[in-house]
Amino acid sequence: MTAPAPLRFVTAGESHGRGLVVVIDGVPAGLAWDGDAVDADLARRQKGYGRGKRQRIEQDRAEVLGGLYPPPESSAAAGEAPTTTGAPLALWVRNRDWDNVKDAWPDPVTVPRPGHADLAGCFKFGTTNIRRTWERSSARGTAATVAAGAVGKLLLRELLGVRLVSHVVRIGDVAIDEEAVAALSPEEIDAAVEASPVRCADPVAAERMIALIDAHKKAGDTLGGELEVAAHGVPVGLGGYVQHDRRLDARIGGALLAVPSAKGVEIGDARRCSLDSGSAVHDAILPGEAGGPPRRGSNRAGGLEGGISTGEPVWARVLFKPIATVPKGIETVDLATGEATRSVYLRSDTCVVPAAGVICEAVLAWELAVALRERCAGDTIAIMRAAIAGGDQVIGGGASGPSDDVEGGER
């Protein structure tokens, strides 16, 4: 008997090549395709105050190359809505900027930018032409990540009703009012964020963040910051503790650190918990209502204990360094001459943090979808749904569902 393929994806393509390819293997058959939802996430990734001119060129959407039946472009004629077949799902995101460079490819660049993969990549692959490195290491590749994560969202939404929310906590030294935002519901945070140019749920802080981004752009500099991402409706029992690579917190942390410019990940309230005593930190287990399962009085652990989801919202904070392409330049060396110089400025963002929230949603959704696939293996959506229904002691309701008295508002 052969076990179903694990859920995984690989990508290919360069920043200024023809486009990006995403191949997703292990998607169960029968998942309803929602191309509008995938394209909406790709569009959200392109927004955010502080983005550069590239986003005015691209109009990202995912074209399906395989893995659906009937193919989306023929579904109207066939009278059948597209669903996954169980074969690899292949998506294509075109680079419109390809038309601007295909007939006049730019000259080699030999001046590495500090903070990028430029110098290390040249050493690794034996070249002094940095374009060979930055074409693939570019954050343009996150469009492929978001496309894959959007498929993970479809799986989580159809089987569990999981909802992803992200919001900016800090840009530079301008931070939100934590208590005010914690008092908001996930729906209120989501509405405020989608209406904010900096994806911030605190309107006062958002105005100050915009002013700070403007000041740094005028000064020829860049900014980093911090964001929070959360998944609501995650059941208890995803992940594991029997091996290090099954711990869901480790997998989520590693995946979030793979987002370009991410330099730190905090699962739950890690920083504040590290300053307090155990009796004040750990989430108390309380009796359930009317004979129901036990519940939690808080969610400082971020919905994860022992590498396993607890049934509470899974949340993390991610810290981002400033964009490494700094307009006013940084001290470096020309690899062609060995002489000191300053890094060159190319088209880039001033601040990536607002857009990074959408990328982190995709990453968190993907890791949760992988864990769900492991927990409820099956070749079809129907088999997975039956496994969920039959395992309600573990998967169905979880140790606790979202409750109004969970500390931290959206958490």
The two tokens of residue 142 are 């996150």
The pair phi, psi for residue 210, each rounded to 5°, is -60, -45
Instruction: List pLDDT tens digits, range 185-227.
Output: 999 999 999 999 999 999 999 999 999 999 999 999 999 999 9
Measured at the CA of 360, the angle between CA 186 and CA 357, to 5 degrees, comes to 60
CATH of the domain at 315: 3.60.150.10
Task: Give burial (CB, 10 Å; 0-12/13-18/19+) of 280.
Answer: exposed
In eight-state DSSP terms, residue 24 is E
Q: H helices within 106-175, ranges in order?
A: 118-125, 131-137, 142-160
| CA dist., res. 117 & res. 284, Å (int) | 44
Q: What is the pLDDT of residues 83-131, one digit of tens each?
A: 999 999 999 999 987 777 777 777 889 999 999 999 999 999 999 999 8
The pLDDT tens digits of the residues spanning 348-383 come to 789 999 999 999 999 999 999 999 999 998 999 999
- Domains held by the chain: number: 1
Q: Give a yes or no: residue 332 inside a domain.
A: yes
How far the first Cα of the chain sits from its last, in Å, is 41
Residue at 263 is within a domain: yes
Six-digit token string for 404: 């109004």
- Amino acid found at 160: L
Q: 40 exposed, middle or buried (CB, 10 Å; 0-12, 13-18, 19+)?
A: middle
Residue range(s) defining the domain that contains residue 315: 138-396
Whole-model pTM: value is 0.91
In a domain, 382, yes or no: yes
How far apart are the C-alpha atoms of 90 and 80, rounded to whole Å? 20
CB neighbourhood size of 278 (10 A): 7
In a domain, residue 90? The reply is no
Determine, yes or no, domain membership for 55: no
126 within domain boundaries: no
The answer to whether residue 103 sits within a structural domain is no
Q: Is residue 284 part of a domain?
A: yes
For residues 189-211, b (16+ Cβ closer than 10 Å) or e, as one string?
Answer: bbebbeebbbbbbbeebbebbbe
